[in-house]
Amino acid sequence: MSTTTTVTQAEPITAQSILRLFPDIDTSSAELDGHDAEQIRLMDEVCIVLDENDKPIGNFSKKIYMWTNTCCSHPLGIPGETGVELEESVAGVKNAAVRKLEHELGIKASQVPIENFKFLTRIHYKAPSDGKWGEHEIDYILFIKANVDLEPNLNEVRDTCYVSADGLRSMFEDPSLKFTPWFKLICNSLLFEWWEHLDSGLEKYMNEQEIRRM
């Protein structure tokens, strides 16, 4: 008697398959009813579609309030913010971070010089949401220490809060607060260790070549 085992693998995401694999994505104007002109304009930004090894395979447009990290750089599929090799990609993410810090928080580029950003690692994670939408990204983790002036963009940021490590742990225990799933995942697995070495010893965590799979 013999036993036959069939193994199926998920179809890889490619530039050719992205629309077919995600047919429910709808960026029609009807989805944006009730949003102001800037929010609608932001939906036209071209985002980078990556495969699971951080290789750009295409572009896509993007379409709720939770506590999260200071800023997500969301590099665009434009010159200066994307690249094939890691060094070029890291430089692009830093450029995008400067752009988004000003756009979201009103932080001037002069207060966050490119050369002061520290690249730690890349994280590949999946975080399903409502069965239709979710997060599936490769995140570049950047640290910067800076004295900045905040002028939050109310179309992007509802509130801001400076916290200590212990203060953030306390916030996680408050059931009335909601956090982006990937931020909480990174905090509980990596961030607090990095935080302990922010002023001394962070170098040993910097410039990782491998992608961490979460």
76 secondary structure, DSSP code:
B
Q: For residue 10, what pLDDT is reported?
A: 56
Is 72 assigned a catalytic role? Answer: yes
Asked if residue 53 lies in contact with residue 122, where contact means CB atoms within 8 angstroms, the answer is no
**DSSP designation for 212:** E
At 47 the pLDDT is 59
User: 31-213 has which CATH code?
Assistant: 3.90.79.10
Q: What pLDDT shows up at residue 137?
A: 84
Residue 139 has pLDDT above 70, yes or no: yes
User: Of 15-24, 111-120, 176-185, which one has max mean pLDDT?
Assistant: 111-120
Angstrom CA distances, 105 to 18, 137, 144, 151, 202, stand at 32, 23, 15, 5, 26
Considering the candidates 72, 102, 135, 208, report the single residue annotated as catalytic. 72
Instruction: Please write the tens of the pLDDT for every residue from 70-107.
Output: 988 888 888 898 888 999 999 999 999 999 999 999 99
**Selected catalytic residue, list 102, 135, 137, 208:** 137
User: Quick one: pLDDT at residue 172?
Assistant: 95
pLDDT at 57 over 70: no
Question: Is residue 133 very low, low, confident or very high in pLDDT (cuts 50, 70, 90)?
Answer: low
- Local structure of 200: helix, strand or coil: coil
Residue 9 has pLDDT above 70, yes or no: no
What local confidence, expressed as pLDDT, does residue 27 receive?
A: 44
Query: Residue 61: which pLDDT band, with cuts at 50, 70 and 90?
Result: very low
- Listed by start position, the domains of the chain span 31-213
Output Rg (C-alpha) for the chain, integer angstroms. 19
Q: Is 200 exposed, middle or buried (0-12, 13-18, 19+ CB in 10 A)?
A: exposed
**pLDDT higher than 50, residue 25:** no
d(CA 178, CA 17): 33
Whole-angstrom distance, CA of residue 180 vs CA of residue 135: 10
Report the mean per-residue pLDDT for the chain.
80
Per-residue tokens: 104: 């979201």
The per-residue pLDDT for 108 is 97
Pure H helices in 27-85? 37-42
pLDDT higher than threshold 70 for residue 14: no
pLDDT tops 80 at residue 174: yes
Question: CB neighbours of 11 closer than 8 A, spacing ≥ 6?
Answer: 17, 21
Question: Which pLDDT value is given to residue 170?
Answer: 96
Active site annotation includes 47: no
What is the spatial distance between Cα 165 and Cα 198, in angstroms, rounded to a whole number?
Answer: 11
Amino acid at 11: E
β-pairing, 118-128 vs 134-143, is: antiparallel
Q: Considering the chain, what percentage of its residues have pLDDT values greater than 70?
A: 69
The more confident residue out of 42 and 74 is 74
Q: Are 184 and 172 in contact (CB under 8 A)?
A: yes
By the 10 Å C-beta count (0-12 exposed, 13-18 middle, 19+ buried), 90 is classed as middle
Q: Is the pLDDT of residue 64 over 60?
A: no
Per DSSP, the residues of 141-181 read EEE----------TTT-S------HHHHHHHHT-TT--B-H
